[in-house]
Amino acid sequence: MRGVGFSYDRSRPFIEDVSIGFERGAVTSIVGPNGCGKSTLLKVACGIVRPCRGDVLLDGRNVRSYAARERARRLALLAQGPRPPAMTVESLVACGRFPYSSSQGRLSRADRAAVEHAMELADVACLRSCDLRRLSGGQRQRAFVAMTLAQDADTVVLDEPTTYLDIGACHDVMGLVRRLNEECGKTVVLVIHDLDLALRYSDRMAVMDAGAVTAAGTVDEVYASRAIDEAFGVDLHRCGVGSDEVYVALPRS
């Protein structure tokens, strides 16, 4: 993204002069307070909405110049909090094969193998016949991630994948994100609210505040910059717990 701006109306810009790249092969988290433009930034980056100015490039080419199926083979987006449709887990995951399916919508042998592999990776193969509406929040989210995996795109974009999940399910989903990156070679970009999860599971981070990117780099670089502290108005601390590290955000006194 180079000098990108976006506005929902002409009175004021919502995103202004954003320039940022997402490194291939890394997990990058975008954090920032509510309403700062994180989800909108993802929509612009994925070509869902057109920027008012600037360039958005995917593999060196304007992201909106790709036909829908061609773009979907390169870039998979899981939008924020999708409502569970009335279908089974396996049927949902099969929807991820849209970029490859025939005009009649029939699944080939390769499509079915991709669906099976995606369910196994996301640990939902045992739930294949279950109605999505009857699953727990964590199970349902893994099913949606499996659908995104079945799309078999090099880059996976997730908008708040841990929203409304309990803490155990949050770690399960973020552990799956790391597996996608390390075992499947996926580049992952996600918007996430939980700072501890973002800092623990990411390679790189970007901080947004009031429609602008105020910091971007490795987790250590962004943590040291104190940009997160300024964006949220907190004091962020890194603490050692055994062999692990946790991040605690405390209110400023």
Per-residue pLDDT reduced to its tens digit, 215-233: 999 999 999 999 999 999 9
Neighbours of 74 (CB within 10 A): 16
CB-facing half-sphere around the CA of 186: CA atoms within 13 A = 28
Question: Which of 3.30.70.2740, 2.60.40.10, 3.40.50.150, 3.40.50.300 would CATH assign to domain 4-251?
Answer: 3.40.50.300
Check: CB of residue 28 under 8 Å from CB of residue 22: yes
pTM: 0.91
In this structure, what token pair is assigned to residue 159?
Answer: 């908008």
Per-residue pLDDT reduced to its tens digit, 92-131: 999 999 998 766 668 899 999 999 999 999 999 999 999 9
* Domain coordinates in residue numbering, the chain: 4-251
Q: Helix 137-150 to helix 109-121 angle, to the nearest 10 degrees?
A: 140
CA angle at 151 for the pair 122 and 204, rounded to the nearest 5°? 70
